[in-house]
Structure 1
Amino acid sequence: MTDSLIDALQAKHLRDLKPYESARRLFSGGQDWLNANESPFVGEYNLDSRKLNRYPDCQPKAVIQAYAAYAGVTPEQVLVSRGADEGIELLIRAFCDAGQDSILICPPTYGMYAISAETFNVKVNKAPLNADFSLNLDAMAEFVGKVKVVFICSPNNPTGTQVAPEQIEQALALFAGSALVAVDEAYIEFAQGQGWAGQLANYPNLVVLRTLSKAFGLAGIRCGFTLASPAIIQVLLKAIAPYPLAEPVAQIAAQALSPQGLAWMQEKVEVLNVLRQRLQDQLQPLGDFVRVGDCQANFILLRSQYKQGLMDDLVAQGILIRDQSKQLGLENCLRISIGTEEQNQRLVAAMQRFFEEKAI
C-alpha cells in the first residue's frame, strides 16, 4: 500500500493525534532508568506452566479475591485489566459515545487520560489545577452535564500532590447525577491516607483506579484494577477483551497479593520513602533547583532554568529522567523517579558536576 492510501484510510480523528511519549519510546537505552516511576526493586516469583495450553480466565478468581481483600472491597467491586491504562480506556469506551461525548481532566496530570479519549474520538475538556495544584472546583462546575467521566489523579502524576478529601467529596457531589468520577490512585501506597476504595458504597459515581506497576514493582506484567460499584463493573465487562490477563500475569499477581507479597511491597515502600527524602535533601541545595508540588509518590519534581542542558548531560551519561516542561504550569520542570541508593548517588554526583561547571 502507498502512503497516500494509508493516509486516506486512516480514521480522521487519528490523523493529528500524537502518541503518548512513554519512557521506552523516548529512550531505548540507559544505565539508570529514573524516568518512568518504576520501582528499582523486583521480587521473586514462581511460574506453573501446566495451564499455559489453556486460555486464561477473564477475571481470575484468585487475583480478584486477593485484591478485594487488600483494598477492603468486595470481589464484585473489582475488575482486573492490562494495567490501569486499560481501566482508563474501558471507562471511556463503555460510557462515552464516540464523536459525541466528552471527558474532563485537570492538568497538569497523567497524559493517558487525554490520549485514550482522543484515540476513541471522545472530546477532552480541561479544568486546570490551581497554582497550588488543588482542584479548581469552580472551573470543574462549568462542565456539569457536559462530560461523562471526570479523571482526578491523586497522588497526581507529575506533581506528587494529593487532592484534599473535601475537594474529592465536592467533585463527587458536583457530578453525582451526570458523570463518573475516576480517582486514579496509582501511587497511593506511597502517600499519606488510605485512598477512596472504602468509600465506594457511599458514592455510586465513584471509580478508583489502582495498579501493581509502582509500589509492587511489577510494571512489566501490566496488571491494574478498577474498583467501582458492581453495576459499573458489569458495564466494563461488556467492553473488556475476552482474555485481558495472561496466565503468567495472573499467577504473578496472585503471589504479589499474598501475605508474603504484601509484606515485601510494604517493606520496599518504606525503603523508597526514605530514599526519596534523602534524594530530595541532597538535590535541593544544588544549582537553582526549586521543588515543585509535593512528594506523595515515588518521584520528585524540580524546576531549573538549566533544564535542557542538564537533561542532555544526564542522557549522555546514561542517566534518564523525565522532562515535564510541556505540561501546563510546569515550565523547566524535571521529574525524577526514585532509584536504588547507588542510582540516586550517581544522579546526585552527575548533577553536582554539571552545576559546578556552570559555577552556580
Structure 2
Amino acid sequence: MIALGLEGSANKLGVGLILHPKSGAGPAQILSNIRHTFVSPPGEGFLPKDTAKHHRSWVVRLVQQALKEAGVGVQDVDCICYTKGPGMGAPLQSVTLAARMLAQLWGKKLVGVNHCVGHIEMGRDITGAENPVVLYVSGGNTQVIAYASQRYRIFGEALDIAVGNCLDRFARTLRISNDPAPGYNIEQMAKKGRHLVDLPYTVKGMDCSFSGILASIDILADKLEQGAGTWMDGATGEVITKEDLCFSLQETVFAMLVEITERAMAHVGSSQVLIVGGVGCNERLQEMMGIMAGDRGGSVYATDERFCIDNGIMIAHAGLLAYRMGQHTNFSESTCTQRYRTDEVFVNWRD
C-alpha cells in the first residue's frame, strides 16, 4: 500500500511517498521525501500569509517531483494524507486545500494526520525504538510523551513558548541568518562558546517555561550590542561574546528538557528515549540526553534532518498506519486546526 503525505504546518512544505507491505510485516519503504523551505530575511520570522503563499506556489511542483522520483503513478497511490494540525492556520489551510483537490481529482481517500504523532511514528520506524519515552521538541511544540492504552500521553510540556521558538527568536535578536534554519545557526555558534552565563532555570513539576529565559538573554544581547560585540560578566570577570550567549542558552534549556525526560523515564520504567522534532537534530541535545540515559543504563534514539525536520514522509507513514486500520477522513470533515493535542489521537495500530 502506498500513501502520499503532505506537510505544511509551518515554513517547510514537505511531500513524501511511502510503501507499506500489504501483510503488515517488514519495514516501510521510503519512495520519495522532498521538502522546500520558506526562508525569511535575518531578524524576521515567517508570517502566516507569506508562508501560505509559498506553499501554494510550490505544492504542485513538489507532488509531481515526488511521484517522478518514486517511480509511481497516480493509480498506485492508495490514500492521500495531510497534516490536520497543530500548526499555523494559513499554511495548514493551503496544504489541506491541496490534499482535498488531489483527493477529488484522483478519486482517493483522505487521512488527516496529527503532526506530532507523525513525528513519533516516523522516529519509531526509523530508529527501531520499541516503547520509548518521547521528547518532542520543535519550533511549535515541546512535550514529553509516553504511550499507554492506545494514546500518546503527555507527561510534561512547555507552559508558554516552545523551545524551538525560544531559540529561533533569539536568533532574530542576534540577526542570525534563517538559512538553512535559525536553530541550526545558533547550534553552530554555540559550539564556539566557552563561558556559561547564568540564566533562569524554570522547571515546574513536569513542565517548562522558556519566555523568561528568552527575556533575560535578550537583555544580555542588548549589552553586547552596546559594548560593540562583547561585555564583561561582573560575576565571573569573563569577557562574553555572542557565541557564549548561544552556548549558555542551549545548555540551560537542554538541561531543563533532560530533567523532565528523566523524571518521565523513572515514572514509566522505560530505558529508552526517542527525540523527535526539528530541535531533535541538535547534536548537543542528543549528547546531553545520552549522558543521562547512559547513567540509567538506557539509550537514546534520534534521526537526522531528513526525518527530524518537518517532512511529508512522516505524514504519509502515520496516515497509512491509520488507513490500514480502517481510518480515513470524510471529505466533509477534511478540515485543519491550529490546536490538535497529541493525546487526542486514537492510536489503534498499536497494542
TM-score (norm 2): 0.30
Q: Which has the higher contact order (CA 8 A, sep 6+)?
A: 2
TM-score (norm 1): 0.30
Normalized per residue, the structure richer in strand is 2
